[in-house]
A and B are shown apart, each in its own frame.
Chain A
């Protein structure tokens, strides 16, 4: 098979940011997630929970709430602005000042015509949603405290607002506050602190459910303005509430990390009198749960521990199937590490800076499993801080280590590295078309840079020292694709360029003729990694539902091996993996090898070996090692999986045939999280 010297890299201090708000669009099955640094992520729940799009954050854009209006996404934050996002170009479309101080919450009515925001100065501002923009309509009655949470009644006539110590019900047409519901403060020491109504939900039968900082979930009658029921759920705060579409189930997220479910059922079977009863408790987080979404079949929660957890409800899905499994999204579904194969350099992308490291060296030899002594330690060569407020969207390092490029939503920068990669000079004269890019890729001979821009087009730029010249813009068939390109790959021989966009289209361009060569037949799932084989020119594409396809670019059809794989089907254990493959690489010494990795394993597919049957044990590397040599050949199959390294961020093969494995152990992330609540547990 092969012995590899492995550079085990654990000095990438990647720290994900806390989840602050989320919103689920049930029609398109997309979840929008806002993080504390202002970054926005879109997950496609229909496509194996793949993280389709990432809009990088901005300094000072402290997003507090998100809202979908049809296909449009709005956010509001503590900087007092409402932002609409352009999901095709992955950037904010425009921002509108609300002039009410920091905005705490945003919500639209069910008809999609009005947008209400709750501000720090106590006003609820109404904005009309027009075709291309939003326009301020009016203020509702100004209140004395800040408006922390809002909820529209499904009919669009009433709004419930959660403030400090009370809940106000407004008539949306006249703007008058009709009812005032007083929320009790906590007991003991918290009696002196005001109670904050963190979240509120207005149901269609005029019931209001509120979650507050004293740990109570209270159910009110919105018509009379009286308290129906109080349930003390936690000693800490109830930070988030979410109700399902049919209003039969409600979930509350707490500071302890638990998510409590309430269901609208009758206490005795067959009786008609239904009430809200506390049913389940999920403890999937170690830190505060700040955002919740209730979909048809699952409860989605996220918070300060930065993980997105999807918990399917067992009364809506079948037990013990792939559908009912708990899903946790920890690391991003795209690569933040770029490896320069020839130079042995690594580029780490952080939201606010880039780090360039040189890998260490080791002379020793050993048996498989040994740790070799390090002769020269890895060293950080350059730390490059970004200019401006926007966070870094994408970055790339040329294979020879001579060029470095990064892009934000508003700017693009290219640098030349010299003197054995110690000195760095900025390339100042950039072509006008190169404004910002969603993905960047250098050609293997470091002579060209490919940058993906709007409408799935790719800009080709020639790199001649010391400047760069615009060459061409590669476009797919006009008018077809609007979605952004999220994957780019340039083949080793410099002849082909493959691009994949979030519309599941893969286009391949011929770089000699600078035009479109072919389009791979569209598969229903979004591609998560693509690569072109250096010698056979076969395009290997791995999709979010874990399917693998191999397409021959010369013959413009699927290869024999790919057809065989599709006919036999992939092994069930392969299909059940819940993290996508983010990188595909090839082995120059053995053309039949394909190296893939996801978060928990890396795999070498040997195309010369038989494919595994459904019944054969899939993870058989350990058993094979114990068998004698002749027996191994009988039992081995094409998928060789190694799980020694966990929480992989990148696996790449260098020119000297050594493997680079960039790991980020979860413990390192957890140890840097903010303070959790103190819970006294028995026997500790």
Chain B
């Protein structure tokens, strides 16, 4: 910082500055006491400082411009997508009435479906296939099959919400234990103390049961050794 200020001022006391600068340089650039300090002229150092500053300004400006470009391009892309997504106004009205109709359709009632499908189908034929009707298929004849539920993105949100709930209640930091522990505690504090539930239930804790079996065998073997 101090260097730059001295470089910019271009004062009359050049020599004094140069001396001080060289002294500074010598103090900072020296790696060992034996070596002679480097000689850098004032013009060089001034040019160096100016260049580095300009570079910094340039890069900052370039970055800003790049970001601006990116943002502009993205905005354009969104506008284009929006235009593409929006269907003509009369077709939007149709869409409003169509979901309520599809909800009432029962899968067993093929006849009803046929009738309604034919009615809608004439209107649908005029529409182009966009995001909402991406699941529609044209079969042979006067049928259009449309999935009643067109909300895959909605189920993603539902899954995210369920995950949030799951993580808050059972995620890390929720201090949970197993139902085996709970039942063991109840067993311990209850009136009739019996075997732990994981030994009573057939399909629980296979590892523990195997270990217990091995231990039992070893104990029986140990009991038999002194006798024989």
Which A residues fall within an 8 A CB radius of B?
60, 62, 78-80, 94-95, 101-102, 104, 120, 189-190, 193, 196, 213, 235-237, 255, 286, 288, 388, 410-411, 435, 667-668, 670-678, 681, 684
- Minimum CB distance partner of B201 in chain A: A671
CB neighbours of A673 from chain B (8 A) = 179
Query: Given that A190-B173, A236-B175, A411-B108 are contacting pairs, would A671 and B158 also be in contact in the complex, using a CB cutoff of 8 Å?
Result: no
Residues of A within 8 A of B173 (CB): 189-190, 193
Determine whether the beta carbon of A80 is less than 8 Å from that of B170. no
Query: Please, how many angstroms separate the alpha-carbon atoms of A395 and B26 in the complex?
Result: 96
Residue among A78, A411, A677 having the largest count of chain B Cβ atoms under 10 Å: A78
Evaluate contact between A410 and B157: CB separation under 8 angstroms.
no
Q: How far is the CA of A243 from the CA of B65 in the complex (A)?
A: 59
A79-B154, A388-B107, A411-B106 known; A671-B183 Cβ under 8 A: yes
Question: Among residues 131 to 161 in chain B, which have CB atoms less than 8 Å away from a CB atom of chain A?
Answer: 154-155, 157-158, 160-161
Interface of B is mostly: helix
CA–CA, A79 and B173, complex, Å: 27
B residues within 8 A CB of A671?
Answer: 179-180, 183, 197, 201, 204
Q: What is the predominant secondary structure among interface residues of chain A facing chain B?
A: loop
Cβ contact of A681, chosen from B108, B169, B183, B185, cutoff 8 A: B185
**Chain A positions within 8 Å of B160 at CB level:** 102
CB–CB A102/B161 < 8 A: yes
Sort A-B residue pairs by CB-CB distance and give the 7 closest, nearest first.
Answer: A678-B177, A102-B161, A675-B176, A78-B158, A78-B161, A101-B157, A678-B175
* Chain B interface residue bracket vs A: 20 to 34
Q: Which residue of A lies closest to B181 (CB)?
A: A678
Closest to B103 in A: A95
Docked CA distance A435–B106 (Å): 10
Most buried by A among B108, B168, B197, B204: B108
Contacts of B177 in A (CB 8 A): 675-678
Q: Can you show 18 pairs from A to B with CB atoms below 8 A apart?
A: A78-B158, A79-B155, A80-B154, A95-B103, A104-B161, A120-B157, A213-B168, A235-B175, A388-B107, A411-B106, A411-B108, A667-B183, A671-B197, A671-B201, A671-B204, A674-B170, A677-B177, A678-B175
Residues of A within 8 A of B103 (CB): 94-95
Interface assignment of B188: CB less than 8 Å from any CB of chain A: yes
Q: How far is the CA of A86 from the CA of B106 in the complex (A)?
A: 18
Q: How far is the CA of A681 from the CA of B177 in the complex (A)?
A: 13
Residue of A nearest to B203 (CB): A671
Most buried by A among B162, B170, B175, B197: B175
Residues on A with beta carbons closer than 8 Å to the beta carbon of B197:
667, 671
Counting chain B CB atoms within 10 Å of each CB, the highest count among A102, A120, A235 belongs to A102
Residue of A nearest to B198 (CB): A671
Taking each of B154, B155, B185, which has the highest tally of chain A beta carbons within 10 Å of its own beta carbon?
B154
A271 to chain B, nearest CB (A): 40
Q: Complex formed: what's the CA distance from A674 to B174 in Å?
A: 13
CA distance A94 to B101 in the complex (A): 12
Residues of A contacting B108 in the complex (Cβ-Cβ under 8 angstroms): 411, 435
Q: Could you tell me the distance between the alpha carbons of A435 and B107 in the complex, rounded to whole angstroms?
A: 11
A255 to B174, CA, bound (A): 10
CB pair B158 A196 closer than 8 Å: no
Residue ID in chain A nearest B177 by CB atoms: A678
> Whose C-beta in chain B lies nearest to the C-beta of A667?
B197
